Amino acid sequence: MTARTLIQRLERALLTLYDPREAHQIALLVAAHQLGAGTHTATLLADPEREIPLSEAQVEVLTQRLSSGEPMQYVLGETDFFGRLFKVDARVLIPRPETEELIDLIRRNEPHARHLLDIGTGSGCIAISLALELPEAEVTAIDLSPEALEVARENATALGAHITFIEADALHGLEERFAPATFDVLVSNPPYIPDADRQAMHCNVVEHEPHLALFVPNDDPLRFYRAIARAGQHLLTEGGALYFEIYHLAADALCQLMEELGFTAITIHRDLCDKPRMLCCRKSR
């Protein structure tokens, strides 16, 4: 089957879920992936008659999975994050570009940090990226889901990152898991989308990605931030930093919460779409 034929078939199937531009981009990326790692979409654009080694049965499986709304990253089994390929499947949230911005912020602001804790690690994308970008640091990562930790361990092994993975609950007993003043940096991209927002979200997210990593109750949307920040007062060294990826509509409420909990140097950073997306603050000295 030629690249042109595969792309056209995938596009037609995807038009029921996505606008034409997005459908074309997904089809192009999936087709390029079938030619092997390192193949760029430009290769197919330059040679659309190039043969792609897929059987009719394999094409049908691809088409059915994508047209059901299953995210492209799960279908391919991997995604690019901070210049590295991470395994992803339905056990973990798909890493987003804004989380890459969080990594870059920590890398630039905390080059001398020696002990870091990633809370709610999922695929391990934050912990692994920081371990590789800050090779002198010791990185620990926790998650409540043993299934997510399996994926994170596989990614760490594949990418050569040395991480200590621990099954633990961010909402309960986090302070008891570690000695006081253990970490220079805590980082978390916790669940933060209110349940009320589900109906407005695309089906490829709501119907396929793990709800445990996405949603929080409408009556307590800051529950993870509050629990992690309280634990941070115990776990952080004096002057240690707490970094959150945040729900853009909750920026003001989070700043107030961090101030109430005794943190200083509270700063909101905007993402490339100019939304308030990251919060940094420090344990007072």
Higher pLDDT, 33 or 42: 33
| Residue 115 phi, psi dihedral angles, 5° rounding | -135, 115
Residue ranges covered by each domain of the chain: 3-68, 87-283
Residue 283, both tokens: 């344990």
Among candidate residues 113, 131, 109, 110, the one with its CA nearest the CA of residue 121: 131
Distance between CA atoms of residues 285 and 282, nearest Å:
9
Distance spanning both ends of the chain, measured CA to CA: 64
pLDDT tens across 65-109, in order?
A: 999 999 999 999 999 999 999 999 999 999 999 999 999 999 999
- Cα separation, 98 vs 281, in Å, equals 18
What are the two backbone dihedrals, phi and then psi, of residue 243, each rounded to the nearest 5 degrees? -120, 130
pTM of the model as a whole: 0.92
- The pLDDT score that the predictor gives to residue 206 is 72
For residue 96, which phi and psi values (nearest 5 degrees)?
A: -105, 155
Contact in structure between 194 and 201 (CB atoms under 8 Å)? no
Instruction: For residues 221 and 157, give the distance between their C-alpha atoms in angstroms, rounded to a whole number.
Output: 34
Tokens of 52: 């792609």
More confident residue, 226 or 212: 226
Condensed to tens digits (0 to 9), the pLDDT of residues 232-247 reads 999 999 999 999 999 9
Side-chain half-sphere exposure of 246, counting CA atoms within 13 A = 29
pLDDT in tens, 137-184: 999 999 999 999 999 999 999 999 999 999 999 999 898 889 999 999
DSSP per position, 118-182? EES-TTSHHHHHHHHHSTTSEEEEEES-HHHHHHHHHHHHHHT--EEEEE--TTSSHHHHS-TT-
- The per-residue pLDDT of the chain, averaged, comes to 92
Measure the CA–CA gap between 174 and 142, rounded to whole angstroms. Answer: 10
Pairing assessment for the beta strands 163-167 and 78-81 based on DSSP bridges: unpaired
Q: Using alpha carbons only, how large is the chain's radius of gyration in Å?
A: 20
CATH number for region 87-283: 3.40.50.150
Tell which residue, 162, 103, 89, has the closest CA to residue 131.
162
Sorting pLDDT into bands at 50, 70 and 90, what band is 39?
low
